[in-house]
Amino acid sequence: MEHKMAVGNQDSNKNAASDDAAIVAGDAYKVVLENEFVRILELRMEPGAKTEPHGHPNMVAVMIDGGTFRFGGPHSSTTPTDLEIPSGSVSFQPADQHTTENIGGAPVHGFLIELKG
């Protein structure tokens, strides 16, 4: 099952260091593997947690423990979007810049496989 979460600016597959999720939103995203092909981020957010504005290149998202998210913020080219992402879902996501907020009642956990090149 493919789930699309296209929100925000999708013009680029490159992140500036100032938009790097692992740097500006390190409380939610941790790098667990990086090589010349991919960078894998582990995502963990408690209910009510919200990230700073950040970006991702094209990626594959794998949700272990899904939940309800709000994507938006100053970098987003759209109004905030609320989205339920189910546990066990796998989806391709185009490059994007946004804030992420866990607006559900439970912690969320997943992995983002950011594609390089």
Confidence of residue 29 (pLDDT cuts 50, 70, 90): very high
Host H or E run for residue 29 = strand 29-34
Q: What is the pLDDT, as a whole number, of residue 60?
A: 98
Host H or E run for residue 53 = none
Domains along the chain?
17-115 (2.60.120.10)
Q: Would the pTM count as exceeding 0.85?
A: no
